[in-house]
Every structure is written in C-alpha cells, then in structure tokens.
Amino acid sequence: MASLARRERFELPEPVRKFFEGDWDVPAFPVEEYRDGSTMVVRAELPDIDPDTGLDVTVSDGVLQIKGERRQETEHKDRHGYRSEFRYGSFSREIPLPTGSDQDGVSATYNDGVLEVRIPVPEPGASSTKIPISRG
C-alpha cells in the first residue's frame, strides 16, 4: 500500500496573508503631522482624488477627520470586444488635535495629490493666566 505524502504546512506570502486576514495596523493613507510656529500642519497623500466630490474634511470635538472615496473606471474597446473595470473604496482617518486648537480657523488645500490641513494652535504657555492672590 502506498503511503500518502504528508503535506507540509507553509506560510502564505505576506501580501496574500494581509489580503485574507486584513492588516488593521496599517492606516488607510500616509499622513505627516508637524508644527509650523503656531500652526499644526497635517499633510495626507491622496492621489487621484477629486477634492470637490471625493473628499470630506471635518473638525469636531478636537478631532480632525479626513474621509473620502476613491473611484477609478477604465474602459477598453477593440474589435474583439469591450472590457470595463471599476475600482472603488472609501477611507477614513481621525487625528486628535492639541488642546485649545482653533476649530474655526482650520483651512485645507489640495495640490498635486497632497491634502494639507492647517490648524491654529496656541503657543505653549500662551493660555496660562497668572491668578492674583488676595489676603484675607
């Protein structure tokens, strides 16, 4: 009687494993945060997005939220037939803002696939007030 070959256990290649298991530690899109004087700057790489219809930037309760949807359509027509492909997906990211951020002064620009959001923040120590002590 022929013995059955035992299948060896193997690991899936990393991209395949991430596809099936999901990689929840990786953010939806890369973001860079830094201070420029009294302004917090958040830059996000979002290529191939129409900022008028596919992007939503909001600030609420000290959190900056960037949401959007990416849609791509391709068509190929030739004498052998027609082929159309659609790719789409939504994304979202929340970034906590420093205490005392000016939510009303937030501005955003989109240029060459990069979203830049500028948030006025108080200078360190600028919000402290000396309290006089009365004798009594």
Please tell me the pTM assigned to this model: 0.64
The pLDDT, as a whole number, for residue 76 is 78
- Distance from the first to the final alpha carbon of the chain: 103
Residues 105/111/113/114 CA torsion (nearest 10 deg): -40
Q: What is the side-by-side strand order in the sheet with 31-36?
A: 31-36, 39-45, 114-120, 107-111
CATH no. for 27-120: 2.60.40.790
Question: Mean of the per-residue pLDDT values for the chain?
Answer: 79
Give me the mean pLDDT over the 73-85 stretch.
79
For 105-120, write each residue's pLDDT tens digit. 999 999 999 999 999 9
Q: With beta carbons less than 8 A apart as the criterion, state whether 65 and 103 touch.
A: no
Q: How far is CA 109 from CA 43, 46, 51, 95, 126, in A?
A: 10, 12, 9, 17, 28
For 8-62, write each residue's pLDDT tens digit. 555 666 666 555 555 444 456 889 999 998 999 999 998 888 888 889 999 999 9
